[in-house]
Amino acid sequence: MARTAKYFGLVPAGGAGRRFGGKTPKQYAILGAHTVLEHSVQALLADPRVEKVFVVVAQGDSTAESLFEGNLQVKCLPVAGAERANTVLNALNHLLQNFMVNETDWILVHDAARPGLSPIALKTLMDQASEHVVGGLLAVPVADTLKRVVVAEEGEVIAQHTVPRDQLWAAQTPQMFRAQALNMAISECLYKGLALTDDASAIETMGIGPLIVPGHVENMKITQADDLRIVAKLLGLNQENPQ
Ligand SMILES: Nc1ccn([C@@H]2O[C@H](COP(=O)(O)OP(=O)(O)OP(=O)(O)O)[C@@H](O)[C@H]2O)c(=O)n1
Ligand SMILES: C[C@](O)(CO)[C@H](O)COP(=O)(O)O
């Protein structure tokens, strides 16, 4: 008889941080007293149901391994791929093929670049998405008016027209789905050459809508350099002289 489904974190941390710039990839930038990655991993471990967090890094990246040395709740997998979707798929393949997770276990995919995830948002997502047919994700309703633009030859960005925002939400992470379902959905999409910027979009192509659970602004993604200062402010962390 199959055991009860467990919960595992999967943190894609294999990006180069091109938009962030600088020599240190943003997942290893210092935020308060720890790296961005450590904050993001600890945020997942805030819920006792999360058994283990798998941190997926680029081959040869030993930084994460040293950050979590001795922490039995964290395991680093050097199987990151060319894009975020490849990283997630490579990790899922590794975990399933090595029987480290069961096909029906819940996988919480959470960006290493989102250190501000709150325990209550994580709990709400796990409580609600686990009751949904396919799973779900954190997202926040779009509050700004959105413009579709064109970029002129001189580089000027020109508004073409306004995009109705009444049914638009901005996806965050974690995005929580069953291991094998997500594995198959991403694999199918990549085989078809579909570009995936998140995990839910792969599930959506299977014809099932994931549950949206309201997130919070503090869970923003660190993308540009100044985002580190903004997130530090949102989290009330001293960023003047990061340790
Ligand atoms: N090949 C990749 C690309 C991204 N990521 C991870 O996916 C998350 C979200 O991606 P993004 O914010 O785009 O990070 P980068 O790809 O590093 O940023 P950029 O696109 O600016 O290079 C990050 O935690 C990043 O480390 C990954 O694991 N593998
Ligand atoms: C997964 C994600 O954070 C949801 O908004 C986002 O799509 C990641 O995009 P990125 O370009 O890989 O940062």
Check which CATH number belongs to the domain holding 41 and give it. 3.90.550.10
Q: Please give the model's pTM, rounded to 2 decimal places.
A: 0.97
158 falls within a domain? yes
Tell me what pLDDT residue 243 has: 46
Per residue in 36-55, pLDDT (tens digit) is 999 999 999 999 999 999 99
Q: Is 224 in the pocket of ligand 2 (CB under 6 A)?
A: no
ipTM of the predicted structure?
0.98
Query: Which residue range is the domain that position 98 belongs to?
Result: 7-235
Ligand 1 mean position to 219 CA, how many Å?
16
220 falls within a domain? yes
Ligand 2 mean position to 10 CA, how many Å?
14
Ligand 1 mean position to 196 CA, how many Å?
12
| Ligand 2 nearest-atom number relative to CA 111 | 3
In total, how many domains does the chain have? 1
241 falls within a domain? no
Tell me what pLDDT residue 242 has: 54
The 3-state secondary structure of the chain, one letter per residue: CCCCCCEEEEEECCCCCCCCCCCCCHHHCEECCEEHHHHHHHHHHCCCCEEEEEEECCCCCCHHHHHCCCCCCEEEECCCCCCHHHHHHHHHHHHHHCCCCCCCCEEEECCCCCCCCCHHHHHHHHHHHCCCCCEEEEEEECCCCEEEEEECCCCCEEEEEEECCCCCEEEEEEEEEEHHHHHHHHHHHHHCCCCCCCCHHHHHCCCCCCEEEECCHHHCCCCCCCHHHHHHHHHCCCCCCCC
